[in-house]
């Protein structure tokens, strides 16, 4: 509300919402503080700190800065508070003694942004040193290539050094936004381009993927891989219009219109150009107006034309960011590296004359007298960059990613016959950039010849050349749910050859009921579980139906002679409410009715194994497993195989190319 109130006031000059925010902030400032009768608590979910600082900046009322600083100081302060929220909420130790980013990623991002605000406005060394240490920890060990943080299974937060799995990346859209707010404040604090480099990485990648091109659908988590099994988006494989806790959509609404505010900055006689966006801006420099007009096709093209018009001719230093990706650095750390890491030859001209601008803190600095209508042309070459990651990031070992300009790229099933897991990129693969207006609202794609593994008729794995098309990561998942990967194997060993088609694998699976977080496709995904309580593989369950009669069925592509089925039951005794069923039977479709097969053995309910049943062969177009669940319990299946009655149970591989 504070942020909205300040934005509303700045945009319209109206005070009505600002006055509401002030009334509320006055109550907060009365209630919390170091004086007798005041509370020393802190918010469970940080964010009020940056709102209070914005109110301070616009009203000049120091009480708001004081209470923001108080919340920052009380966090982790054991002497003054009876109960701490712990590491999850960065409330385990005073921030001035913290050195690592921990806990919930969104809480952390807002908190660190608030600390940076307090550090900048108070100038106190202990705050500045602490926030510098924590920022470097993120950049050294915890940032995803797309510029976001957090993992599933780690409380939506920091999982530790180099724990950057791709499939289970959480990268909440809010975490990217909080990280952007933090990095912008770090820039304001230090005036170094490295923070704007990270900000740009977030804006074009980790943040932008969170909202659809239509603007009305959202990702909550933003993984770097999609296998079509793990429903990462809170039970969905595509962007959703809303969530039960719908922080991300409303956060996008706040952040998108704030982006123009990050493009430029001023300090005394310095004018900073941080981001490259076509547009017109007016700002005050030393009490006089300067107008800037940017003309560019960025991020598709690195040519940027800036027309500079001070009201009267005057001297100041123009500081234009030369992005890290131009200079050959992914980040100011060894977390990722370009191969090769050579800097691209950028150039800067003023009124058509090349200028040998000094590079200071990541900015090309041109200090001269500027006259109305002076034109700066910046040329930032955009080679296709191969990215390798630190060896400690397990999931990225032997893999490569691609970038061009500020954009991280990915491959999608939509461009590769539905699957990307079989693809790999030999070292000598040449990718060429091509702009197309016909795809995804107009994008530059990277194209070339890569490789893919496949199975020969006898099941051995071989490799063949395959055309590859990479799209900007932010644009993924606009052509239906589909497989996606950012990090691609560099060798065939890490690529996954699709299994040979089987009767089950080519069947259509349905069920009497499927729990929304589970997946009917688990039945015939040909992924073998290790145990009945294996939580690492996709599963199907009838949860939360308990004690009922339920079924699953396969419909075959065509009538097929079958004689054996094998069922691997899911059973999470000790952890959840699913058990092997009390009993079950197998039915086949016979015209319009379901008829039990004549089993030659018992229908087993063993744990940790396939329960196989053979029966008098039948030729049918569908099979059904009907279970009686145990009283009070639900149940599920991890894998269900079907064997044919013929000499070979495999469908001929010749049918598949
Ligand atoms: Zn969110």
Q: What is the pLDDT of residues 201-224, one digit of tens each?
A: 999 999 999 999 999 999 999 999
CA of 115 to the centre of ligand 1 (A): 21
C-alpha–C-alpha distance, residues 570 and 519, integer Å:
13
Is the per-residue pLDDT at 586 higher than 90? Answer: yes
C-alpha–C-alpha distance, residues 133 and 634, integer Å:
49
CA of 312 to the centre of ligand 1 (A): 46
CA of 145 to the centre of ligand 1 (A): 19
Is the per-residue pLDDT at 656 higher than 60? Answer: no
CA of 583 to the centre of ligand 1 (A): 44
CA of 219 to the centre of ligand 1 (A): 9
Is the per-residue pLDDT at 396 higher than 80? Answer: yes
Residues of the chain with pLDDT > 70, as a percent, come to: 98
Q: What is the pLDDT of residues 635-651, one digit of tens each?
A: 999 999 999 886 544 44
C-alpha–C-alpha distance, residues 42 and 55, integer Å:
18
CA of 475 to the centre of ligand 1 (A): 19
CA of 173 to the centre of ligand 1 (A): 6
Residue-level pLDDT at 647: 53
Work out the average pLDDT over 294-299: 98
Residue-level pLDDT at 395: 95
- Going by pLDDT thresholds of 50, 70 and 90, the confidence category of residue 655 is very low
* C-alpha pair distances (Å), 136 with each of 127, 142, 155: 14, 9, 22
Is the per-residue pLDDT at 153 higher than 90? Answer: no
**Mean per-residue pLDDT of the chain:** 95
Is the per-residue pLDDT at 511 higher than 70? Answer: yes
Residue 423, token pair as written in the block? 């693809």
The whole-model pTM stands at 0.85
Residue-level pLDDT at 646: 65
Q: What is the pLDDT of residues 87-144, one digit of tens each?
A: 999 999 999 999 999 999 999 999 999 999 999 999 999 999 999 999 999 999 999 9
CA of 515 to the centre of ligand 1 (A): 24
CA of 199 to the centre of ligand 1 (A): 18
Closest Cα partner for 398 from 492, 472, 509?
A: 492
Residue-level pLDDT at 458: 84
Is the per-residue pLDDT at 657 higher than 60? Answer: no
CA of 61 to the centre of ligand 1 (A): 30
CA of 246 to the centre of ligand 1 (A): 7
Residue-level pLDDT at 487: 98
Work out the average pLDDT over 282-297: 95
Peptide bond into 544 cis (omega under 30): yes
Is the per-residue pLDDT at 242 higher than 70? Answer: yes
Residue pair 246/197 in contact (Cβ under 8 Å)? The answer is no
CA of 237 to the centre of ligand 1 (A): 17
Residue-level pLDDT at 29: 97
Residue 336, token pair as written in the block? 């990722």
Residue-level pLDDT at 653: 37
- Going by pLDDT thresholds of 50, 70 and 90, the confidence category of residue 484 is very high
C-alpha–C-alpha distance, residues 570 and 583, integer Å:
14
CA of 210 to the centre of ligand 1 (A): 10
Residue-level pLDDT at 138: 98
Enumerate residues with CB within 5 Å of ligand 1 (an ion). 172, 174, 247-248
Residue-level pLDDT at 251: 96
Residue-level pLDDT at 500: 82
CA of 486 to the centre of ligand 1 (A): 22
CA of 47 to the centre of ligand 1 (A): 13
The single residue listed with the structure tokens 């894998």 is 639
Residue-level pLDDT at 427: 94
Q: What is the pLDDT of residues 461-477, one digit of tens each?
A: 999 999 999 999 999 99
CA of 171 to the centre of ligand 1 (A): 9
CA of 220 to the centre of ligand 1 (A): 6
Is the per-residue pLDDT at 304 higher than 90? Answer: yes
CA of 248 to the centre of ligand 1 (A): 4
Residue-level pLDDT at 536: 80
CA of 373 to the centre of ligand 1 (A): 43
Work out the average pLDDT over 144-155: 93
CA of 174 to the centre of ligand 1 (A): 4
CA of 106 to the centre of ligand 1 (A): 8
CA of 136 to the centre of ligand 1 (A): 24
CA of 105 to the centre of ligand 1 (A): 10
Strand order in the sheet with 279-285: 279-285, 288-296, 303-310, 374-379, 347-350, 353-354
CA of 109 to the centre of ligand 1 (A): 12
* C-alpha pair distances (Å), 435 with each of 155, 301, 450, 472: 40, 10, 20, 11
Residue pair 434/448 in contact (Cβ under 8 Å)? The answer is no
Is the per-residue pLDDT at 166 higher than 90? Answer: yes
């Amino acid at each position: 509300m504070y942020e909205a109130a300040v934005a509303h006031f700045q945009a319209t000059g109206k005070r009505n919402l600002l006055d509401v925010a002030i009334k509320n902030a006055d109550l907060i400032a009365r209630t919390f503080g170091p004086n007798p009768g005041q509370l020393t608590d802190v918010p469970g979910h940080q964010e009020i700190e940056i709102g209070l600082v914005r109110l301070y900046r616009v009203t000049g009322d120091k009480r708001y800065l004081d209470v923001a600083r108080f919340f920052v100081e009380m966090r982790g302060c054991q002497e003054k508070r009876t109960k701490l929220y712990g590491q999850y909420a960065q409330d385990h130790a005073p921030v001035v003694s913290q050195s690592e980013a921990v806990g919930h990623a969104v809480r952390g991002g807002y908190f660190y942004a608030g600390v940076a605000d307090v550090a900048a406005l108070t100038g106190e060394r202990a705050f500045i040193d602490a926030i510098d240490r924590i920022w470097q920890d993120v950049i050294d060990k915890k940032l995803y290539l797309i510029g976001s943080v957090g993992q599933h299974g780690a409380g939506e937060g920091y999982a530790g050094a180099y724990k950057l799995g791709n499939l289970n990346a959480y990268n909440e859209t809010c975490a990217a936004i909080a990280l952007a707010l933090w990095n912008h404040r770090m820039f304001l604090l230090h005036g170094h381009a490295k923070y704007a480099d990270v900000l740009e990485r977030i804006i074009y990648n980790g943040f932008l993927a969170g909202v659809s091109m239509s603007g009305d659908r959202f990702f909550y988590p933003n993984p770097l891989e999609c296998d079509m099994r793990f429903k990462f988006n809170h039970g969905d494989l595509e962007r959703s219009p809303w969530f039960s806790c719908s922080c991300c959509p409303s956060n996008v609404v706040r952040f998108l219109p704030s982006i123009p505010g990050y493009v430029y900055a001023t300090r005394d006689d310095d004018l900073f150009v941080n981001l490259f966006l076509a547009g017109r801006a007016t700002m005050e420099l030393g009490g006089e107006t300067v107008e800037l007009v940017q003309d560019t096709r960025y991020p598709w093209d690195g040519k940027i034309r800036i027309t500079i018009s001070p009201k009267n001719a005057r001297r100041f230093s123009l500081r234009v960011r030369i992005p890290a990706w131009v200079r050959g650095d992914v980040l100011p750390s060894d977390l990722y590296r370009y191969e090769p890491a050579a800097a691209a030859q950028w150039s800067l001209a003023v009124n058509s004359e090349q200028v040998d601008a000094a590079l200071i803190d990541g900015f090309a600095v041109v200090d001269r007298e500027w006259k109305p209508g002076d034109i700066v042309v910046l040329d930032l070459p955009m080679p296709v960059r191969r990215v390798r990651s630190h060896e400690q990031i397990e999931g990225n070992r032997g893999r490569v990613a691609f970038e061009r300009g500020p954009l991280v790229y990915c491959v999608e099933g939509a461009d590769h016959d539905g699957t990307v897991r079989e693809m790999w990129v030999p070292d000598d693969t040449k990718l060429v950039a091509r702009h197309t207006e016909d795809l995804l609202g107009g994008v530059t794609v990277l194209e070339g010849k890569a490789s893919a593994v496949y199975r020969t008729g006898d099941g051995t794995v071989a490799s063949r050349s395959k055309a590859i098309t990479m799209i900007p990561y932010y644009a993924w998942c606009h052509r239906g749910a589909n497989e996606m990967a950012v990090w691609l194997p560099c060798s065939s060993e890490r690529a996954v050859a699709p299994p040979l088609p089987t009767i089950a694998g080519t069947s259509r699976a349905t069920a009497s009921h499927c729990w929304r977080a589970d997946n009917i496709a688990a039945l015939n995904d040909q992924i073998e579980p290790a145990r009945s309580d294996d939580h690492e593989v996709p599963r199907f369950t009838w949860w939360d139906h308990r004690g009922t009669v339920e079924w699953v069925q396969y419909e075959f592509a065509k009538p097929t002679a079958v004689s054996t089925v094998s069922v691997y039951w899911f059973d999470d005794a000790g952890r959840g409410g699913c058990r092997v069923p009390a009993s079950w039977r197998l039915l086949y479709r016979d015209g319009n009715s379901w008829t039990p097969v004549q089993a030659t053995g018992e229908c087993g309910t063993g744990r940790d194994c396939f329960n196989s049943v053979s029966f008098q062969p039948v030729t049918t177009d569908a099979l059904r497993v009907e279970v009686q669940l145990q009283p009070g319990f639900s149940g599920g299946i991890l894998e269900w195989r079907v064997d044919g009655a013929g000499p070979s149970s495999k469908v001929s591989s010749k049918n598949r190319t």
